[in-house]
């Protein structure tokens, strides 16, 4: 059907009291950014509802994008009609017919803002219900928990019909829970951690460590595509690309093999914390899960956290791999994450890394490298890209490779 608008209902915002206006304003901004590629939309964030006027735009892709915006409890595609009751009857019947399957029940739920309209609420319910019963054999009325609820709103500027309620992503609008840096690799875990952080309203800067020639342009493009996948939950995301080759080569050359990973992770966290501080972020998110790999024991985490006083948040810390994969599949990052492009976390991995590194030994081994100089060189080489939903960096890179063949 050709819908006129999509009516969005707020989630946890209803509990926010005096801050409600700020939350609604932020949600409106996020929806606008998330729907940036659809020309002609009008988005109005009001006290009780957010309205997306479609103005002829196909509703299906807009609905898919709205499903992923945090702060939305649910929403309904709506048809706006003039105050012609015969047209209302015909449209109501068409909407119910499109959803009806044998054995289904329905009810009419009318709200009337325009009290000068020719019929009152009960009359509208009776007339529309009777019209549907006469024209759809087998359908029945059920007042509690029907299969289909046709909502009718008689407003001053027209009559609005809707018959579907589509679940939203819930959570809080991204940007209302503060701002942090997310250490994102090309793997399964970090996009899921980013998703969970954003669901609580945290705006994330994605920090990615890139080590050419050991990691490829396709590995970088893959991580940008993962960022684009989860950008729909926020509208857009800043992607901070950090050159890390020299840091890794130096550590490999000067640090004992068992402590390579620990020192490398300390440098990554130290650099990320510096980026976060410069960008006004209040914490660092990671995709670590306790006990999943050698660098994710409590001893390793303590040795790595030693480099910063900034909060380090780990949304996946108590999850097992099956739980993480389930969420990755749900948010459509899993298939992209398992593409076989190495990231900097997997290169130079020693055969027997320390799973319980000693903190004092770690600090002493780190003195073998020029921490401040390497860190500053990496910070001087960062590049920042704004990534929006729907952008595809791997396809762009394939075109570049094709030209070189």
Domain boundaries, the chain: 5-169, 179-404
Phi, psi of 384 (to 5 degrees): -120, 130
* Mean pLDDT (whole number) for 34-47: 90
pLDDT exceeds cutoff 80 at 201 = yes
Determine the pLDDT at residue 347. 64
What pLDDT score was predicted for residue 13? 61
CATH code given to domain 5-169: 3.30.2130.30
For residue 106, what pLDDT is reported? 96
Percentage of residues in the chain having pLDDT higher than 70: 92
> For 366, phi and psi rounded to 5 degrees?
-65, -25
**Pick from 288, 211, 281: which is nearest to 243 by CA?**
211
- Work out the pLDDT band at 222, boundaries 50, 70, 90: very high
* CB distance 229 to 392 below 8 Å: no
Cβ–Cβ < 8 Å for 107, 146: yes
Residue 31 has pLDDT above 70, yes or no: yes
Taking only the tens place, the pLDDT of each residue in 45-94 is 988 889 999 999 999 999 999 998 999 999 999 999 999 999 999 999 99
Burial zone of 298 (CB within 10 Å; 0-12 exposed, 13-18 middle, 19+ buried) = exposed
d(CA 133, CA 106) in angstroms, rounded, equals: 10
**Which CATH number does the domain 179-404 belong to among 3.40.50.880, 3.50.50.60, 3.40.50.620, 3.40.30.10?**
3.40.50.620
Q: State the pLDDT at residue 293.
A: 67
Higher pLDDT, 234 or 109: 109
Three-state secondary structure string covering 235-275: CCEEEEEEECHHHHHHHHHHCCHHHHHHHHHHHHHHHHHHH
> Residues annotated in the binding site for ATP, as ranges?
183-184, 208-209, 265, 287, 296
Given this model, what pLDDT does residue 369 score?
A: 96
Average pLDDT of span 21-28: 90
The pLDDT confidence band at residue 405, using thresholds 50, 70 and 90, is: very low
Strand partners, 105: 140
Q: What is the pLDDT of residues 321-357, one digit of tens each?
A: 999 999 999 999 999 999 887 776 666 676 667 788 9
Task: Look up residue 58 and give its DSSP letter.
Answer: -
| CA–CA dist 167, 327 (Å, integer) | 17
383 φ/ψ sector (left φ>0, alpha ψ -120 to 50, else beta): beta
Q: What is the pLDDT of residue 400?
A: 43
| Predicted confidence band of residue 401 (pLDDT cuts 50, 70, 90) | very low
Specify the higher pLDDT residue, 6 or 216. 6
How high does pLDDT run on average in the chain? 90
Please state the residue numbers annotated as binding site: 183-184, 208-209, 265, 287, 296
Is the pLDDT at 12 greater than 90, yes or no? no
What local confidence, expressed as pLDDT, does residue 397 receive?
53
Return the axis-axis angle of helices 217-231 and 393-404, rounded to nearest 10°. 160
**Mean pLDDT, residues 376-383 taken together:** 97
Long-range contacts of range 60-66, CB-CB < 8 Å, 24 or more positions apart? Answer: 62/6, 62/35, 62/38, 63/6, 63/166, 65/34, 65/35, 65/232, 65/389, 66/6, 66/8, 66/31, 66/34, 66/35, 66/166, 66/168
Res. 402: pLDDT tops 80: no
For residue 148, the surrounding DSSP H or E stretch is strand 148-155
| Confidence at residue 228, expressed as pLDDT on a 0 to 100 scale | 94
User: Cβ(92)–Cβ(177) under 8 Å?
Assistant: no
Spatial neighbors of 284 by CB under 8 A, at least 6 apart, are 180, 181, 182, 183, 269, 272, 273, 276, 308, 310, 311, 312, 313
The CA distance from 180 to 210, in Å, is: 20
Q: pLDDT tens digits, residue range 270-304?
A: 999 999 999 999 999 999 998 766 667 899 999 99
Q: What percent of the chain has pLDDT over 90?
A: 74
Q: Both tokens of residue 381?
A: 């080489």
> What pLDDT does residue 404 have?
37
């Amino acid at each position: 059907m050709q819908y006129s608008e999509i009516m969005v209902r707020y989630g946890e915002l209803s509990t926010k009291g005096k801050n409600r206006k700020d939350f609604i304003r932020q949600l409106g901004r996020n929806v606008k950014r998330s729907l940036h590629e659809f020309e002609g939309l009008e988005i109005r964030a009001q006290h009780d509802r957010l309205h997306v006027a479609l103005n002829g735009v196909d509703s299906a892709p807009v609905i898919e994008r709205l499903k992923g915006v945090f702060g939305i409890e649910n929403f309904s595609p709506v048809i706006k009609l003039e105050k012609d009751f015969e047209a209302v009857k015909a449209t109501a019947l068409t909407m119910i017919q499109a959803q009806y399957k044998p054995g289904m029940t329905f009810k009419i739920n009318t709200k009337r803002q325009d009290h000068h309209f020719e019929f009152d609420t009960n009359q509208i319910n009776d007339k529309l219900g009777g019209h549907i019963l006469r024209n759809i054999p087998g359908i029945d009325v059920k007042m509690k928990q029907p299969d289909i609820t046709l909502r009718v709103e008689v407003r001053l500027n027209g009559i609005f019909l809707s018959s579907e309620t589509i679940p939203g992503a819930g959570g809080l609008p991204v940007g209302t829970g503060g701002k942090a840096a997310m250490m994102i690799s090309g793997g399964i875990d970090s996009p899921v951690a980013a998703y969970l952080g954003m669901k609580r309203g945290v705006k994330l800067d994605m920090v990615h460590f890139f080590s050419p020639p050991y990691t490829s342009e396709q590995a970088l493009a893959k991580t940008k595509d993962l960022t684009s996948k989860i950008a729909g939950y926020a509208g857009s995301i800043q992607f901070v690309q950090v050159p890390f080759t020299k840091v890794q080569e130096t550590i490999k050359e000067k640090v004992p093999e068992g402590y390579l990973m620990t020192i490398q992770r300390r440098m990554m966290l130290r650099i990320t914390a510096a980026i976060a501080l410069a960008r006004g972020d209040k914490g660092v998110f990671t995709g670590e899960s306790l006990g999943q790999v050698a660098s994710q024991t409590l001893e390793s985490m303590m040795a790595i956290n030693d480099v910063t006083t900034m909060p380090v948040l780990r949304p996946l810390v108590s999850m097992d791999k099956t739980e993480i994969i389930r969420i990755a599949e749900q948010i459509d990052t899993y298939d992209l994450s398992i593409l076989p492009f190495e990231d900097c976390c997997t290169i130079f991995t020693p055969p027997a890394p320390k799973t319980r590194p000693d903190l004092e030994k770690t600090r002493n081994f780190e003195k073998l490298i020029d921490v401040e100089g390497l860190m500053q060189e990496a910070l001087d080489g960062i590049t920042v890209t704004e990534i929006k939903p729907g952008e595809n960096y791997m396809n762009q890179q394939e075109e570049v490779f094709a030209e070189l063949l």
